[in-house]
Structure 1
């Protein structure tokens, strides 16, 4: 019995030694297989998350991105009365981008050129959420924003033609400017309903309060559209035009009338 046990141990040791020798001899192959598996895993993850996908239409963007209010990077092309026309710039992961380019070259060149041309011409139309532009608002944007201006846009809602977003522009260092708020602070817009967000949500009221505070600063400083009105008139106008306050008044009136009955 001891001899059999010893023989088994020797065979196991011999097998392990041979495996080690094979691994040493094929170390480069093993490293390549491990690296290949890692790259494939990262590619699959990036593809599933769609972080490297370039979106050319509002409907291309996954529903999850809208629901989670994801921020995307873009490059400004045009400023129109309808909104900002922006080219989406996806996240670039160096070695993944290189692999994707190499894989693209292996495909049909003519098809690739057609797709590239089609994508380059298609831009995302972005509306500034919660903001109703005054006549001078578009002109201010055209003066303040540079050609090909890089920016970030936070997704709040969408329809088939446009996205409702908060738009952020880098101002140097760690500073950034929210265009939605800045237009209100300059008196070049009015705070409006934020389309795309549920009105009972915490995010809706958080953003709405931010926008109202920005507008109030312009009201107090007599800026922009608030320049030609005195303070009491401006406050009264804001109260009378606020739909939430109107509904609240209607509710109070209904409660009073129900009580009197």
Structure 2
């Protein structure tokens, strides 16, 4: 009788917990497997479409570059001074160009915009238009005939130069012009012609006299002219002692009078 009572006793709490634990274990395994399946599916989709994702990212990046370049006109080719935005002049932007010729009025320079491989046709609306060089004047410089000859000898056609925009006057750009020397360093043509005594300093056209830019340019160009004066170059070359003495004799009033007397006789 006691044995039957023992066998018919209700289950204890531990036994119920054990049974519940045994039933919940398969459910946990099923949940883990389902989450693993989702992760694997997402990973597989990402791997399969990785090339597509990269192409989309590249396309968006290229589109951004195109929009930025067109908005700031980095790839626009300027055929006339009037086409250059006013903000370029105000900020003294530097433009790259190729020399066409040296004239009495200055340099004729073809503007070379920034080149983006494969995108130049998309960005340039004037592709195929006739090439019209810009007329560039060396700002703050008055060239002598010898200075023009020197430019023609030292600035070859098709040579690349950099133009730092200072001001604009009708169709003329007043710029600081840099060119490539034989060495790796670039030289400023405005300073070179002044240092060689092949030009004089001139008023800075289009620059406010009270501005910082005017003071910096004036100091820079004046320093170059002073070097030529100290070294006696070009315009500032001094005559020799014999030449000065001969000139003094020719200009003497008594000598001129004697020449007239002998000429009459």
Give the TM-score normalised by structure 2: 0.71
Structure number with larger C-alpha Rg: 2
Q: 2:128 aligns with which of 93, 116, 119?
A: 116
Q: Measure, in 2, the Cα distance between the counterparts of 1:78 and 1:213.
A: 28
Change (3 A) 1:35 1:140: same
The alignment covers a number of residue pairs equal to 213
Give the 5 Å matches for 1:1-261: 17-93=40-116, 97-101=117-121, 103=122, 116-118=128-130, 120=131, 122-227=132-237
Q: Measure, in 1, the Cα distance between the counterparts of 2:34 and 2:81.
A: 65
Q: Measure, in 1, the Cα distance between the counterparts of 2:111 and 2:137.
A: 14
Change (3 A) 1:159 1:16: farther
Is the 2:198–2:235 contact (alpha carbons within 8 Å) kept by the matching residues of 1? yes
Change (3 A) 1:11 1:124: farther
Shift of 1:226: 2.1
Q: Measure, in 2, the Cα distance between the counterparts of 1:30 and 1:188.
A: 62
Aligned to 2:74, what secondary structure does the other structure show? coil
Shift of 1:9: 9.7
- Greater helix percent: which structure? 1
Aligned to 1:98, what secondary structure does the other structure show? coil
Shift of 1:11: 8.1
RMSD over equivalenced CA pairs, Å? 2.8
**Structure 2: which 5+ runs fail to align?**
1-23, 241-265
Q: Measure, in 2, the Cα distance between the counterparts of 1:173 and 1:10.
A: 70
Give the TM-score normalised by structure 1: 0.72
Q: 1:253 is matched with which residue?
A: none
Shift of 1:20: 3.2
Q: 1:237 is matched with which residue?
A: none
